[in-house]
Amino acid sequence: MANRWTNTLKDNDVTPESAYLNRRQLMAGAAAGVGLAGIGGQAQAKESLEPNSWEDITQYNNFYEFGTGKTDPAANAHMLTTQPWTVRIDGMVDKPGDFAFEDIMKAMTIEERIYRLRCVEAWSMVVPWNGFELADMLNLAGVQSGAKYVAFETLLRPEEMPGTRYRVIDWPYVEGLRLDEAMHPLTIMATGIYGKDIPNQNGAPLRLVVPWKYGFKSIKSVVRVTLTDKEPPTSWNKTLPNEYKFYSNVNPNVDHPRWSQATERKIGGGLFSQRIPTLMFNGYEEEVAPLYEGMDLVKHF
Ligand SMILES: Nc1nc2c(c(=O)[nH]1)N[C@H]1C(S)=C(S)[C@@H](COP(=O)(O)O)O[C@H]1N2
Ligand SMILES: [Mo]
């Protein structure tokens, strides 16, 4: 399929951060001249997104299966075995089954997407992901007409995941999207960062990225994807139902019961990391607001 973002990267391309940034600047120049086609191009052209460093992105993580501290995933996720890896796609699909990660990759076109990531804890980053549209993976299995939601599940392998010894949540980590959210072209499965394979602490070998929702919706190390006609349970809603609901769209006007969501701290500024205003739908309002037309975003937060 056409690449609507920048260059097409193969999964084995390695892009050093410096070369990557240079290419980005070139692309920004090109965008100013002729404009980039497609949805990602519009978002990119609106303002230049400066990606966080490889260190920021891979050393400051939430991946509770490896511990609840921000540096625990980087310290512990090397224990995770990601080969072989299969994703079970089941439920309301024509061809349910176990899909080998390599076979999925062969069928997909890998693109770059530079997205904001806004954690519900009010910090944020900008991440240059590599990946493919979730819609393309779902179409491999053939979504049936009655399907309305997509449920996701993370691997649960306690011997490789020291954090799962503690019942912080009811493991495995599960998440869900409405089918139209899942099929939206901004929704991707990420398999890389900065042109390299995605590190374990970021959700290897493949993780969901839904850039207009709080980070916890972007479930890591996915082993199962189930098409269903019922709203699926989600881990943080099950754990703290008054604080986290199904949609979890980034919204500066709806505070968390225990803190404001009006601003965020951008990681990487060191001691002087400044707070910046949080944007409606994390800056993707133009692209995704139509999905929620007529919906009460305060009630369905
Ligand atoms: N399986 C799983 N997925 C997860 C989490 C987790 O603890 N377990 N944390 C979520 C949260 S709260 C955030 S903010 C993002 C963080 O992604 P990153 O570490 O790649 O920045 O992953 C999300 N996906
Ligand atoms: Mo988060």
pLDDT in tens, 36-70: 344 444 444 455 699 999 999 999 999 999 999 99
pLDDT in tens, 245-266: 999 999 999 999 999 999 999 9
Residue with CA at minimum distance from ligand 1 atom 7: 63
CA–CA distance, 16 with 257 (Å, rounded to integer): 41
CATH number of the structural domain spanning residue 145: 3.90.420.10
Is 22 contained in some domain? Answer: yes
What residues does 111 pair with on adjacent strands? 131
Predicted pLDDT of residue 272: 74
Ligand 1 lined by 218 (C-beta under 6 Å) = yes
Is 2 contained in some domain? Answer: no
Closest ligand 1 atom to the C-alpha of 63? Answer: 7
Separation of 114 CA from ligand 1 center, angstroms? 17
pTM of the predicted protein model: 0.88
Residue 112 has pLDDT above 80, yes or no: yes
Predicted pLDDT of residue 18: 57
CA–CA distance, 167 with 64 (Å, rounded to integer): 10
- Lowest-confidence region among 9-13, 44-48, 64-68, 297-301: 9-13
Average pLDDT on 96-123 reads 98
Is 4 contained in some domain? Answer: no
Q: Is 255 helix (H, G, I), strand (E, B) or coil?
A: coil
Predicted pLDDT of residue 273: 74
CA–CA distance, 249 with 213 (Å, rounded to integer): 4
Is 219 contained in some domain? Answer: yes
Is 134 contained in some domain? Answer: yes
Predicted pLDDT of residue 6: 35
Separation of 33 CA from ligand 1 center, angstroms? 37
Is 162 contained in some domain? Answer: yes
Residue 57, marked binder: no
Instruction: State how many domains the chain has.
Output: 1
* Residue range of the domain that includes 80: 11-292
Q: Interhelix angle for 38-46 vs 17-34, to 10°?
A: 90
